[in-house]
Structure 1
């Protein structure tokens, strides 16, 4: 029975079809649907918070427009982040392919837009949030603390989308938990790192931040804790994930993602200490 389970488990990726619906040239993929689910879930969790929790002054209309701005920030930032962090030499020679779903090498060929960076998306969201807050006179830290506990649960669905697509698979392993990914360059079993990320970056970080959201009173601290928790979890999962083939390990045995996560954690710690010191100074002054 145990051997039968592992055989079933190890061959799951080979039985998955990333296309949900196909009508002529139109294709609806699970990956895109997972992103819609992630955005929708974040939106409804934020709406729940402004309805049932005190300390937030945003209206539901503002949450709608702000979430839309964040989605634009994620898409633009994620794409540009991939270009600059992961494949700048290529796109410097093929700039039209940054936002156009075509390859112009050896003729025009439809390829779709592939390649998104989490860290670039994070920068894009922060930029969109700061711009929206400035225009509407809402503190950036208030928006960040409102969204930070809600966002991670959406990552669960995004990573499941990666798994169904057979991308971002892990490093080779002889452990029975390993799976056969048809798109991998070699036929051996690999860690299903997408599922590791779905649980730890998504469910674990969500449960942690959702638990802490009413226990942390320093404004801006939830954003700092989000950066620290996600960055730490992602850093260690990267040891199981296959680095990008064209990059490999960029510093000792660390990948580009790990270096970016390390910077993310350091920034989160620094931001937390900064906000704590401001909170203490304000308390002492008022006292």
Structure 2
């Protein structure tokens, strides 16, 4: 049985300014996206596209900026709507208190997609072409975020068998060992999904299939990891014994599979 190392969430304190590890993991996520997207510019079909104009480094910068706005705004609004709608209806101003914590991946995904829809429209590019471009660059950022969750000792897992070698006791979660679900998600929806998507995207695919593979793949990985993650105390398990995170993954799995099949039928 292991003990969570209880790392100080503040990485650096300069007077009243506190730099948190979680904020640094967000910066790492954006830096990894920028680096991988620059590599994607050399991959087909993006290296050969000339209309309406070639893909270039400026596109990466614009996509990243809009992605940051989309993930922060969408993640916060999604958390308020999906997880605690009654509370935030009574305290609407607290929707803007992002420093208090509370972000939803599924809301962030919707925010990013809306931001990239605007980007695609403004640049005259097909929306699915944009999604295919960014999809393989996203999972490493998700992995960085899970590192931040582990450092903060939050979003811990369900109680594990005492004999589990990596069962871990988290501060504030009682004295029983739990699954380090942040590590599971780091490995599944972060590293494994990145490797699979990067390799999948390196071969010719129908437009829309790489983006669809991300939506489906993340849904499956997250749905699986949720079996080991402690559900939110104020929600618990919902219908069929599934968590809110799992129910939000169901339309991703179904929609991703449907979009992949539909894209494969196109020219």
Match of 2:17 in 1: 26
Task: Give the paired residue count.
Answer: 258
- Cα deviation 1:118-139 (Å, max 9, x = unaligned): 0000000000000111011111
Match of 1:180 in 2: 169
* Counterpart selection for 1:256 from 241, 244, 249: 244
Match of 1:108 in 2: none
In 1: Cα distance, 2:20 partner to 2:38 partner: 28
For the residue of structure 1 that corresponds to 2:205, the secondary structure is coil
| TM-score where L is the length of structure 1 | 0.87
* Counterpart selection for 2:64 from 56, 67, 73: 67
Please list every run of at least 4 consecutive aligned residues from structure 1 whose deviation after the TM superposition is greater than 4 angstroms.
none
Task: Give the C-alpha shift of residue 65 in structure 1.
Answer: 1.3
Preserved contact between residue 44 and residue 204 of structure 2 (Cα < 8 Å)? no
Match of 2:191 in 1: 203
Task: Give the C-alpha shift of residue 15 in structure 1.
Answer: 3.6
Match of 1:77 in 2: 74
- Cα deviation 1:187-228 (Å, max 9, x = unaligned): 211110000000111110000011111224201100111111
| TM-score where L is the length of structure 2 | 0.93
Indicate yes or no: 2:44 matched with 1:54.
Answer: yes
Higher-Rg structure is 1
RMSD: 1.2
For the residue of structure 1 that corresponds to 2:240, the secondary structure is coil
Match of 1:269 in 2: 257
Match of 1:98 in 2: 95
In 2: Cα distance, 1:100 partner to 1:264 partner: 28
Deviates more, 1:121-130 or 1:92-101: 92-101
Preserved contact between residue 70 and residue 112 of structure 2 (Cα < 8 Å)? yes
Preserved contact between residue 99 and residue 113 of structure 1 (Cα < 8 Å)? no
In 1: Cα distance, 2:131 partner to 2:205 partner: 13
In 1: Cα distance, 2:234 partner to 2:152 partner: 20
In 2: Cα distance, 1:180 partner to 1:205 partner: 28
Match of 2:51 in 1: none
In 1: Cα distance, 2:167 partner to 2:35 partner: 35
Deviates more, 1:263-272 or 1:208-217: 208-217
Task: Give the C-alpha shift of residue 79 in structure 1.
Answer: 0.3
Match of 2:141 in 1: 154
For the residue of structure 2 that corresponds to 1:116, the secondary structure is coil
* Counterpart selection for 1:163 from 135, 145, 150: 150
Match of 1:230 in 2: 218
Preserved contact between residue 216 and residue 222 of structure 1 (Cα < 8 Å)? no
- Cα deviation 1:51-73 (Å, max 9, x = unaligned): x2232232211210121001100
Gaps of 5+ in 1: 1-5, 102-111, 280-287
Task: Give the C-alpha shift of residue 172 in structure 1.
Answer: 0.8
